[in-house]
């Protein structure tokens, strides 16, 4: 199973959830997978954990997940685990709560709120994203049931984290009025206490509250209560905002788990991040432990699931990428793909746009695909001219279109 996180604090929490940590993965020098994995096990499941390389957002998440999927050929599905900004308007969401992606209303668990087109009547969101795999949805239901009958061990797993991950280290849970902006500084010590929003106190016996529904994902940090509530209303009610899930759902079958560390407003700070990351990791562990290993063995690999679908809206076929030779326990095997590709361009192609259409009709090799994903990780995806400089004989336009096809995230 794959476990993806975006921040070092999330990686630390994930590592603490392992029952056993295994030796590091030795990469094949000819492979283009630049991810660094933490390998281990939770219960009877082998788990590969990876953290984004210092860049957050949907595009880096896609690149990391695609490389993980190519390397671990027997990987069945994954978890995107970390922190998020809660939306306190509809649900009684508090700091330290856990939010989990679940199909609800018109969305399949995650919605990309900033993808679409500008029209004369305003911004129009387009496309849709895949739902979590059925195995993970069944596991989620099992965890919900365990919580209802008092068998949840999430709080127990959090307690074992210790140190900065403890609830007592996070400080008070304060929600300010949406119209009141932060006064300045790294904390809210100088903010007016009279502008706090009154809420009913939580049941002291309930350490972790889990919410299920739609997670809003985009490429920008939401740090404004007005913008938060506006998007929440436009989308028909979401539980939290984050920046990676939309880059995964159509290229990596997974469940998204977020610990709430702030309210996506101007009072946003990092004090609650360790506890929120620990709570999300604890919930993720509980999900894995209710899945029988035999059920995992019957599940299609992530590679097969992405190639054979049926996806929610994607009609492209992600290419099969090469992988290194390492331990079969994690589902890795030797690659036998060709790396040749044609560089010819027909007369008709030249007439239709010259370099813009160069090599578009020719096949991209697996090596080129992996190099493209690697370059996108370290280059602003909007600067496709810079990306093309690293890909031989490929135009910026061709690189952009190929990237959209590979990640399986084409919107109409």
Task: Give residue-wise pLDDT tens across range 95-121.
Answer: 999 999 999 988 999 999 888 787 887
Domain that holds residue 211: 2-308
Q: Residue 327 falls within a domain, yes or no?
A: no
Q: Do residues 135 and 273 both lie within one domain?
A: yes
Q: Do residues 301 and 363 both lie within one domain?
A: no
Is 50 exceeded by the pLDDT of residue 324? no
Contact 137, 290 (CB under 8 A): no
Q: How far apart are CA 162 and CA 14, in angstroms?
A: 13
Task: Give residue-wise pLDDT tens across range 253-284.
Answer: 899 999 999 999 999 999 999 999 999 999 99
Q: Do residues 9 and 143 both lie within one domain?
A: yes
Q: Residue 331 falls within a domain, yes or no?
A: no
Neighbours of 315 (CB within 10 A): 10
Q: Do residues 27 and 92 both lie within one domain?
A: yes
Q: How far apart are CA 143 and CA 138, in angstroms?
A: 9
pTM for the structure as a whole: 0.76
- Per-residue confidence band for 379, with pLDDT thresholds at 50, 70 and 90: low
The stretch 292-306 carries a mean pLDDT of 84
Q: Residue 318 falls within a domain, yes or no?
A: no
Q: Residue 341 falls within a domain, yes or no?
A: no
Q: Do residues 7 and 98 both lie within one domain?
A: yes
Burial (0-12, 13-18, 19+ Cβ within 10 Å), 104: middle
Q: What is the CATH number of the domain that holds 398?
A: 1.10.10
Q: Residue 325 falls within a domain, yes or no?
A: no
Contact 371, 324 (CB under 8 A): no
Q: Do residues 87 and 185 both lie within one domain?
A: yes
The pLDDT of residue 340: 33
Q: What is the CATH number of the domain that holds 234?
A: 3.40.50.1580
Q: Residue 336 falls within a domain, yes or no?
A: no
Q: Do residues 273 and 146 both lie within one domain?
A: yes
Q: Do residues 351 and 303 both lie within one domain?
A: no
Q: Residue 264 falls within a domain, yes or no?
A: yes
Given 308, 337, 354, the domain boundary residue is 308
Q: Do residues 358 and 302 both lie within one domain?
A: no
- Using CA of residue 107, residue 109, residue 112, residue 113, what is the dihedral sign? positive
Residue with tokens 């129009």: 124
Task: Give residue-wise pLDDT tens across range 40-65.
Answer: 999 999 999 999 998 888 889 999 99
At residue 408, the 3 state secondary structure works out as coil
Q: Residue 338 falls within a domain, yes or no?
A: no
Query: Cα dist. 192→64, 196, 227, 266 in Å?
Result: 42, 8, 22, 14
Domain count within the chain: 2
């Amino acid at each position: 199973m794959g476990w993806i996180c975006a921040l070092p604090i999330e990686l630390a929490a994930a590592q603490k959830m392992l029952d056993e940590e295994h030796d590091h993965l030795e990469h094949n020098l000819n492979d283009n997978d630049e991810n660094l994995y933490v390998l281990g096990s939770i219960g009877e499941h082998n788990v590969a954990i990876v953290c984004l390389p210092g860049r957050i957002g949907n595009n880096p998440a896609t690149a990391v997940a695609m490389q993980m999927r190519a390397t671990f050929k027997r990987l069945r599905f994954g978890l995107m685990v970390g922190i998020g900004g809660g939306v306190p308007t509809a649900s009684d969401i508090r700091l330290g709560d856990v939010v989990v992606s679940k199909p609800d209303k018109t969305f399949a668990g995650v919605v990309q709120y900033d993808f679409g087109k500008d029209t004369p009547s305003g911004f129009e969101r387009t496309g849709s994203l895949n739902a979590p795999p059925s195995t993970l949805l069944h596991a989620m239901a099992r965890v919900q049931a365990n919580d209802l009958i008092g068998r949840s061990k999430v709080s127990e797993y959090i307690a074992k984290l210790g140190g900065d991950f403890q609830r007592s280290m996070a400080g008070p849970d304060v929600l300010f009025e949406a119209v009141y902006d932060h006064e300045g500084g790294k904390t809210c010590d100088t903010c007016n206490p009279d502008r706090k929003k009154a809420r009913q106190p939580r049941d002291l016996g309930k350490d972790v509250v889990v919410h299920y529904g739609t997670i809003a994902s985009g490429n920008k940090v939401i740090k404004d209560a007005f913008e938060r509530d506006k998007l929440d209303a436009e989308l028909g009610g979401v539980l939290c905002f984050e920046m990676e899930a939309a880059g995964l759902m159509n290229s990596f079958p997974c469940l998204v788990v977020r610990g709430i560390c702030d309210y996506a407003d101007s009072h946003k700070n990092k004090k609650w991040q360790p506890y929120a990351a620990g709570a999300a990791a604890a919930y993720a562990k509980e999900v894995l432990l209710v899945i029988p290993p035999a059920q995992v063995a019957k599940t299609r690999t992530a590679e097969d699931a992405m190639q054979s679908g049926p996806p929610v809206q994607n009609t492209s076929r992600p290419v099969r990428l090469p992988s290194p030779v390492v331990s079969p326990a994690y589902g890795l095997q030797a690659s036998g793909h060709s790396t040749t590709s044609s560089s010819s361009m027909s007369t008709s192609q030249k007439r239709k746009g010259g370099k813009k259409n160069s090599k578009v009709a020719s096949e991209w090799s697996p090596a080129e695909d992996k190099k493209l994903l690697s370059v996108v990780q370290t280059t602003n995806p909007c600067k496709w001219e810079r990306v093309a400089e690293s890909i031989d004989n490929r135009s910026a336009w061709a690189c952009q279109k190929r990237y959209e096809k590979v990640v399986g995230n084409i919107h109409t």
